Amino acid sequence: MERTAHADTFARDNLPPRGQWPEFRFDLPELQYPARMNCATVLLDDMVKAGHGARIAIRSLDGECTYLQLQAQANRMANLLVRAMGLKPGNRVLLRGPNNPMMAAAWLAVFKAGGICVGTMPLLRAKELTEIVNKAEITHALCDRRLDAELKLALPSCPALKEIRYWYDDETDALIGNQPAGFKNVNTSAEDVALIAFTSGTTGKPKGTMHFHRDVVAMCDCFPRSCLKPSMDDIFIGSPPLAFTFGLGGLLCFPLRFGASTALVEKFTPDSMLEAIQEFKATILFTAPTMYRALAGIWGKYDLSSLKKCVSAGEALPDAMRQLFKQASGIEIIDGIGATEMIHIFISHAPEHARRGATGQAIPGYVAVVLDENGDRCAPGQIGRLAVKGPTGCRYLADERQSGYVQNGWNLTGDAYVMDMDGYFIYQARTDDMIISAGYNIAGPEVEGALLSHAAVAECGVVGKPDDERGMVVKAFVVLKKDFSAGDAMKKELQDHVKRNIAPYKYPREIEFATALPRTETGKLQRFKLRTTP
Ligand code: 3UK
């Protein structure tokens, strides 16, 4: 391994043992990286050097910011970190704020200074922040003043976190403004850790996934190059927080890597998202499946003619949603499965290669297979566990669960999939979400897809409910659209609808109507909460 630039070797010291690493593959010409690289140099300084300094990098409600201006701001913040906050390469820096230009500059500043970014979702509470800070032994923090409350509550339990600055605070903003606009990026090894992303996992202690400077660049050189194919004129927009690697890629790193621009918006409702697309003339949208469903219903209210490509990830995209959105917008959604452990998307498709009901194919650079219980490959059509390999992969920070995610060099994402004869992967369920009822294997998301194709259903979640006779029964939680009313007649109608659309034994024997479903900040349905609903 190339000599590290990290004076503080905490991250390196807490990498999993080599024998537990996944196999990394760099099969494509664009994945041949030098031994030393700083991802901020590639994403930002090299773009300025190549003559793109005057192009717009970030758009926001506060105005526009060119590549040159972003570089200057990131440099000032890097100087703040090093000169005023004593940051040493390898120190972990907590980043906290909504998606906006300051937050983007902060990410780049930490990369530049050789620090390790630890993004935190805006909705995290003090208890969750404390766990992250202590697990990653975070020493520094840059935080938006408007999100300081939970961090301040966490501080008494975070003794190592001593250097904290809040921006949008006159003093810090002046301090940043007074820093020099030049900065010499730390010459990190391509294999120095650049970020620790905590999983948005729904149960258990949070897991920190460690990604190298090389990984940040590799995520830009895989999914975008083969599926999204952005140009310099694209304007990216979307909802995932930068603390979620789906957002870090889609709303910061991808646009910069391609000399394009990103429109950063702090908060979204379906309406404000469409307003923002209209206002910024955005061309590429990143968001979660449920949002596409909501957008389809109000599409006609806005002029969205600028929008060309839409990426959906985080959860399975039911075909009913793909079709609904296509009817409303004329756009074929690009579905992609990614994971925090893998940093970004590894199975997807270009819009013209979308296949109904499938997530897509392994994208160039990655290999994906479906394995049975013995670790052997399943035949096409047979359900099993998804396993992937590529230029990125899982390295948990000091965590015994490493040997669960990585086996025989494969990353096991915890998803049950079927591969068809053409190498398309068809999502079934999270492996621990499979419902076994009277001997049948039933994938909750398939039942959800069937329910969603009924005009009355706005949202739904399907889980197995323990049952003396059948082991489990299929239970659906259904949120109805405004103009429909709950009741036995509706239950019967939905059950019959499912029976007509998929194998009848999969129909939900129980249906409960709800006004909303529990979701994570990243848009994932929290099925474990539905399972524990009495
Ligand atoms: C599920 C999907 C079906 C799947 C993520 C894009 O979601 C991301 O990361 P997380 O660590 O969750 C990973 C798990 O989420 N999933 C994600 N996308 C899909 N299931 N179809 C999909 N298209 O269970 C996976 O194992 O929160 C997504 C980019 C970066 C990411 N971190």
- Which ligand 1 atom sits closest to the C-alpha of 347? 23
pLDDT in the model for residue 229: 98
**Contacts from 269-274 at CB under 8 Å and sequence distance 24+?**
270/294, 270/295, 270/297, 270/298, 271/298, 271/301, 273/237, 273/239, 274/298, 274/299, 274/301, 274/302, 274/304
Indicate which CATH number applies to the domain containing 44.
Answer: 3.40.50.980
- Which ligand 1 atom sits closest to the C-alpha of 386? 26
pLDDT digits (tens, 9 = 90+) for 156-207: 999 999 999 999 988 999 999 999 999 999 999 999 999 999 986 556 688 9
**Structural domain containing residue 42:** 38-187
Structure tokens at 366: 């990655």
Q: Is residue 403 part of a domain?
A: no
Q: Is residue 327 part of a domain?
A: no
Nearest to 116 by CA among 218, 207, 9: 9
Work out the average pLDDT over 274-281. 98
How many Å lie between the centroid of ligand 1 and the Cα of residue 260? 25
* Identity at 107, one-letter amino acid code: W
What's the whole-number average pLDDT of the chain? 95
Q: Is residue 351 part of a domain?
A: no
Cβ–Cβ < 8 Å for 56, 70? no
Work out the average pLDDT over 314-325. 94
How many Å lie between the centroid of ligand 1 and the Cα of residue 341? 10
Q: Is residue 100 part of a domain?
A: yes
Q: Whose CA is nearest to atom 12 of ligand 1?
A: 339
Q: Is residue 200 part of a domain?
A: no
Q: Is residue 106 part of a domain?
A: yes
How many Å lie between the centroid of ligand 1 and the Cα of residue 223? 14
Nearest to 226 by CA among 397, 347, 370, 46: 347
Q: Whose CA is nearest to atom 21 of ligand 1?
A: 316
Indicate which CATH number applies to the domain containing 519.
Answer: 3.30.300.30
Pocket test for ligand 1, best of 196, 312, 334, 340 (most atoms within 8 A of CB): 340
Q: Is residue 315 part of a domain?
A: no
Q: Is the torsion defined by CA of 11, 14, 18, 24 positive or negative?
A: negative
- Which ligand 1 atom sits closest to the C-alpha of 522? 27
Alpha helices for 59-197 (secondary structure H) = 67-79, 101-112, 126-135, 148-154, 170-177
Length of the chain as a residue count: 534
- The CA distance from 435 to 415, in Å, is 13
* pTM for the predicted model, two decimal places: 0.94
How many Å lie between the centroid of ligand 1 and the Cα of residue 411? 13
Q: Is residue 394 part of a domain?
A: no
Nearest to 99 by CA among 88, 107, 91: 107
- Ligand 1, pocket residues at CB < 6 Å: 199-200, 245-246, 313-317, 335-340, 344-345, 359, 413-415, 427, 430, 522
> Of 153, 170, 187, which residue is a domain's last?
187
Work out the average pLDDT over 466-485. 92
The residue with tokens 């019967």 is 492
Structural domain total, the chain? 2
- The CA distance from 114 to 91, in Å, is 8
Q: Whose CA is nearest to atom 14 of ligand 1?
A: 339
pLDDT digits (tens, 9 = 90+) for 372-399: 999 999 999 999 999 999 999 999 999 9
- Of the two residues 431 and 212, the one the predictor is more confident about is 212
pLDDT digits (tens, 9 = 90+) for 139-157: 999 999 999 999 999 999 9
Structure tokens at 425: 């992967």
How many Å lie between the centroid of ligand 1 and the Cα of residue 195? 18
Q: Whose CA is nearest to atom 15 of ligand 1?
A: 314
> Of 151, 172, 187, which residue is a domain's last?
187
Work out the average pLDDT over 319-334. 96
How many Å lie between the centroid of ligand 1 and the Cα of residue 291? 15
pLDDT tier at 439, thresholds 50, 70, 90: confident
How far apart, in Å, are the Cα atoms of 491 and each of 364, 476, 500? Answer: 45, 10, 14
> Of 132, 164, 187, which residue is a domain's last?
187
How many Å lie between the centroid of ligand 1 and the Cα of residue 523? 10
Q: Whose CA is nearest to atom 26 of ligand 1?
A: 413
Q: Which of 86-95, 448-457, 521-530 has the lowest mean pLDDT?
A: 521-530
- The CA distance from 109 to 115, in Å, is 9
How many Å lie between the centroid of ligand 1 and the Cα of residue 524? 9
